[in-house]
Amino acid sequence: MATQERYPNRWVQLILGILCMAIIANLQYGWTLFVAPIQDKFHWARTAVQLSFTIFIFFETWLVPVEGWLVDKFGPRPVIAGGSILGALGWVIHGVADSLTVLYIGSIIAGMGAGAVYGTSVGNALKWFPDKRGLAAGATAAGFGGGAAITVVPVAAWIAKNGYQSAFIWFGI
């Protein structure tokens, strides 16, 4: 059976995976825009604020095997949906955080969400394109970087105009 016949909507799925990656990109790439405003508001040490990013990256990457198991058990839709909700919730928590503990909790939740979306999107791209694995993985990963490229200016402008807390909440939702 030809690959196209086995996966008739694979191009649609690839585009959706790229969009999912673009949407979660600023959870990682936009973080630096928030550090100085958080410091200015709470006078926390830069290392304490940046620890939040380290926590985010840890939970984004190290839980992907668990999230992959969830995809195998329940399918990609609930994992992407759950990851999206967790990512949004993490950003909203960052927007209301008034202590480092709450900021760190937001990073744990956002990291789990981003990892679920990232791992599922890349894994499914590889599954749907056994004949073009490099193209599919590359295009999906490019969605992550591309999402940051097209949203970093609006995020920065929002922070400048409305404050970092509003940006976390608005872009999280």
Contact 7, 130 (CB under 8 A): no
Task: Assess whether pLDDT exceeds 70 at residue 1.
Answer: no
Cα–Cα dist 140/21, whole Å: 7
Interval 37-91: pLDDT, tens? 999 999 999 999 999 999 999 999 999 999 999 999 999 999 999 999 999 999 9
DSSP letter string over 44-97? Answer: --HHHHHHHHHHHHHHHHHTHHHHHHHHHHH-HHHHHHHHHHHHHHHHHHHHH-
Rounded to the nearest 10 degrees, how much is the dihedral formed by the CA atoms of 166, 64, 85, 98?
-40
pLDDT band at 147 (very low <50, low <70, confident <90, very high): confident
Closest C-alpha to 3, from 123, 141, 133, 143: 133
For domain 3-172, the CATH architecture is Up-down Bundle (1.20)
Rounded to the nearest 10 degrees, how much is the dihedral formed by the CA atoms of 3, 4, 8, 9?
90
Question: For 98, which DSSP code?
Answer: -
Q: Which residue has the tokens 């097209």?
A: 150
- Tokens in use for 53? 């990013």
Q: Where are the domains of the chain?
A: 3-172
Check residue 157 and give its pLDDT. 96
- Tokens in use for 74? 């329940």
- Tokens in use for 114? 């981003």
SS3 call for 163: coil
Interval 100-136: pLDDT, tens? 999 999 999 999 999 999 999 999 999 989 999 999 9
